Structure 1
Amino acid sequence: MDRTESIYGINPVLTLLKQSPSQVLQLYIQAGIHSRRIDEIAGLATKKDIPTEVVERVRLQALAGCDRHQGVFAITKPVETLSFDTLLDHLEKDYMAQQLPPLLVLDQVQDPHNLGACLRTADAVGIAAILIPERKSTPVTAVTRKVACGAAESIPVIPVKNLARSLQALKKLGYWLVGTDERGSMDYTELDWTIPVTLVMGNEGSGLRRLTRESCDYLVHIPMLGQVSSLNVSVATGVCLYEMLRQRRHK
C-alpha cells in the first residue's frame, strides 16, 4: 500500500471532509458516541462513499495512539506539499498587483503541538503560508493537525532546504523580514506591521539561528515584566500576529 497518514479529532476530520474529501481513505467512529458534529462527519462520509467503520473505544485509542481522538479517526492520503518555488510563482502572479500577503517562518520549531498552535493562529489572521527548514523541524503530524483544529488543511506548510537563501528570495520579492529576539532593539508594537511582512520565529530553546537573525530587516522584542525571559513560541507568534492584524484593521 502507498504511504498514508492519519488524522483524529472532530475539527480536523470535519474540515478535511468538507475541503478535501478525496483525501480520506477510511473513517473510524467510536461506538456509542452521538453528537451533531459526529453525525455530520458520518453523513459527509456516507455522501462521499468513504468507507466507515464503527469501533470500540479501545480500538480507536490504539489507532490514534492517544485518548484525545474525540471519537473519530481517519486514514488519509499524504498531505500534498507546496514547493517554495511554486509559492514564489503564486505570489508573483497573483499578488504583485496588490499587497503581498503575510507569511510566517518557523526556524526549527520541533514540538508538533507548537506547530499546530501556530497554524491555528496563522489561519485566524490570514497568513498565506508557513515556511520551515527541512532539517530539525517537526513535520505536520496527526498531533499537529489535531491541535490546529483544521488549519493544517487550509495553510500550506512548506519545507525548504536552505532557509537563509529562501529568506533572501522573499526579500527580493518585496517582503520585510521581522524576527523576534529578546535583544531586539524595537518593541513589537512600534513596528509598522502594515508593510509586506514575513514574521520569523525561532525554536523553543535557542531562538533564531545566527544566519536567520542576520537575514532579518527588523528584530523586535516582546516586553517581559516578570521573572521568565521569554514566551512559548506559539504564544509569542500569536502576540505578534495579532498586533499585525490590529494595525491592518485600523489602517
Structure 2
Amino acid sequence: MNLIIGRKPVLEALNSDEDITQVYILYGQEGGIINAIRIAAKKRGIKVNQIPAEKFNQIAKDKNAQGVIAVKPSQKFYTLQEIIQSSKNKNLKAFSSEEDLGEKLPLLLILDSIQDTHNVGAILRTAECSGVDGVIITKHNSAPINETVVKTSAGASELVKICQVNNLANAIDELKKEGFWIVGSFLGKSKPYTEIDYKMPLALIVGNEEKGIRKLTADKCDFLVHIPMKGKIQSLNVSVATGIILFEILRQRNI
C-alpha cells in the first residue's frame, strides 16, 4: 500500500487527478484544508473515512501525517520517450519572442543514485517550482518514491513526471540522439555553473549525496559544472545545489 501523507500533499494529489483509492482523516480534524480535501475527494467519487487515532496511527506508522492519509495503488512512472516527447511538445507552438523560446526549451533533471528520501522529495519540489519537464531516476541504488518523498515534496511528486530507468548510460545516449545537451554537477574538473549558456534543450544531472555523479556518467556529459565555495566545507547538500543550478537555468532563459 502506497501512502500520501500530510494535508497539502493529499490535496495536491486529489486536485492533480492522481490515482487514489481511499482517504483517511483522523477523527476530530477540522478546518479549511480538511474541508477542501473532503470536497475534492467527493468530486472524484473517492471515499473518505474518519477513523480513530489507534487505527490512524497503525496506517501512518508513526509518521507525522497531519491527520490525513491518502492511499494510492502505486507510483506512476513514465517511459523515457514519454518524458522526452512531453518536454518537446512545448516547442510545437510558434514563439512570439526570444523570451518565449527560453521559457519553452526542454529541461529534464536526472538523479544519479540519490538515496535519501528527504533529498529526493526536496529536489522534486524544487524541480516543479523551476519548471522542470520531467525527472529521471535510476532504478537501482536510489531512494524509492514513497510516502516520505511525497510528503517532503509538498505534493510536487504528483505534478512532476517521473521516469525510472535501468541503465542511466543508455538513457543519456537516447537523450543525446533526441537533441538534448547533458550538464553534470561535478566537483572535479569543471566550470563554474554560471559560465554555461543554458539556452538549449537540456538535461541536468546531479549525483549521490556522498560520491556525486559516477565517473561513467560524468564522461558522458557535454558540460561539467560546479558551484564555487568560499567556506571550509566544499560541498552543499544535493537538494540545495540542485536548486541553485536550476534557478540559474531559469534566470538565463527568462532574460
TM-score (norm 1): 0.91
Cα offset for 1:149? 0.9
* 1:16 partnered with 2:13: yes
Cα offset for 1:66? 2.7
Q: After the TM superposition, which segments of 4 or more aligned residues of structure 1 sit over 3 Å from their partners?
A: 88-100
What is residue 59 of structure 1 aligned with on the other side?
A: 55
Structure 2 unaligned runs (5+)?
94-100
What is residue 86 of structure 1 aligned with on the other side?
A: 82
Equivalent residues of 2:121, 2:150 under 8 A apart: yes
Identity of aligned residues (%): 38
What is residue 155 of structure 1 aligned with on the other side?
A: 160
Superposed counterparts of 1:94-109, under 5 Å: 95=91, 100-109=105-114
* 1:189 partnered with 2:194: yes
* 1:245 partnered with 2:241: no
Cα offset for 1:94? 5.9
What is residue 174 of structure 1 aligned with on the other side?
A: 179
Structure 1 residue corresponding to 2:35, chosen from 36, 39, 44: 39
Superposed counterparts of 1:115-154, under 5 Å: 115-154=120-159
Equivalent residues of 1:100, 1:175 under 8 A apart: no
What is residue 210 of structure 2 aligned with on the other side?
A: 205
Cα offset for 1:18? 1.0
- Residues 1:82 and 1:195: Cα distance change in structure 2 (over 3 Å): same
Deviations 1:138-184 (A, max 9, x none): 12111101011111111121111110111111112111111111224
TM-score (norm 2): 0.90
Structure 1 unaligned runs (5+)?
none
Paired with 1:210 and 1:96, the residues of 2 have a C-alpha distance of: 36
SS at match of 1:205: coil
Equivalent residues of 1:180, 1:201 under 8 A apart: yes
Letter in 2 for 1:217: D
Cα offset for 1:83? 1.0
Equivalent residues of 1:16, 1:150 under 8 A apart: yes
SS at match of 2:184: strand
What is residue 96 of structure 2 aligned with on the other side?
A: none
What is residue 97 of structure 2 aligned with on the other side?
A: none
Paired with 1:233 and 1:39, the residues of 2 have a C-alpha distance of: 36
Paired with 2:189 and 2:33, the residues of 1 have a C-alpha distance of: 45
For these two proteins, the number of residue pairs brought into alignment is: 246
Paired with 1:32 and 1:202, the residues of 2 have a C-alpha distance of: 43
Paired with 1:67 and 1:142, the residues of 2 have a C-alpha distance of: 9
